[in-house]
Amino acid sequence: MKLIGVTLAAAILAGCSADVNSSDGAAPQPPVPATPVPTTSAPTVPAAGGDPFVVQEVDVFDAPWAMTFLPGTGDLLITERTGKLHLRDAGSGQRVEVDGVPDVAVAGQGGLGDVLAGPTFANDGAIFLSWAEADAGVSGAVVGRARLDTSDDGASLADLEVIWRQTPKVAGNGHFAHRLAITPDGEHLLVSSGDRQTKQPAQDTSNTLGTIVRLTLDGEAAPGNPLADDNGAAAEIWSWGHRNPLGLEFADDGTLWSSEMGPEGGDELNVIEPGGNYGWPEASNGSDYGGGEIPDHADGDGFVPPQASWTPSISPGSLMIYSGDLFPDWKGDAFLGALSGEALVRVDLDGTTAGDDEIFSMGERIRAVEQGPDGAIWLLEDEGAGRLLKLTPA
pLDDT band at 102 (very low <50, low <70, confident <90, very high): very high
> How far apart (Å, rounded) are the C-alpha atoms in residues 242 and 192?
9
pLDDT band at 340 (very low <50, low <70, confident <90, very high): very high
43 within a domain of the structure (yes/no): no
pLDDT of residue 31: 34
Query: Contact 215/243 with Cβ under 8 angstroms?
Result: no
143 within a domain of the structure (yes/no): yes
Each residue of 223-262: pLDDT tens digit? Answer: 999 999 999 999 999 999 999 999 999 999 999 999 999 9
Whether pTM exceeds 0.85: yes
pLDDT of residue 35: 29
Domain hosting residue 86, numbered range: 62-320+345-357
Say which of 175, 188, 242, 297 is annotated catalytic: 175
pLDDT of residue 49: 58
Residue 188 designated active-site: no
Each residue of 52-99: pLDDT tens digit? Answer: 999 999 999 999 999 999 999 999 999 999 999 999 999 999 999 999
125 within a domain of the structure (yes/no): yes
- The neighbouring-strand residues paired with 353 are 350
In the chain, alpha helices (H): 121-124
Residues whose CB falls within 8 Å of the CB of residue 344, separated by 6 or more in sequence, listed in order: 14, 335, 336, 337, 338, 359, 360, 362, 366, 369, 377, 379, 391
CATH number for the domain including 223?
Answer: 2.120.10.30
pLDDT of residue 3: 37
Q: Is the pLDDT of residue 34 over 90?
A: no
Distances (CA, A) of 65 to 98, 227, 238, 358, 367: 15, 32, 25, 23, 6
155 within a domain of the structure (yes/no): yes
> How far apart (Å, rounded) are the C-alpha atoms in residues 322 and 375?
8
> How far apart (Å, rounded) are the C-alpha atoms in residues 59 and 325?
24
> Looking at per-residue confidence, does 80 or 29 come out higher?
80
Per the structure, the count of domains in the chain is 1
Distances (CA, A) of 133 to 71, 164, 176, 297: 29, 12, 10, 34
**122 SS3 class:** helix
34 within a domain of the structure (yes/no): no
Query: Contact 208/194 with Cβ under 8 angstroms?
Result: no
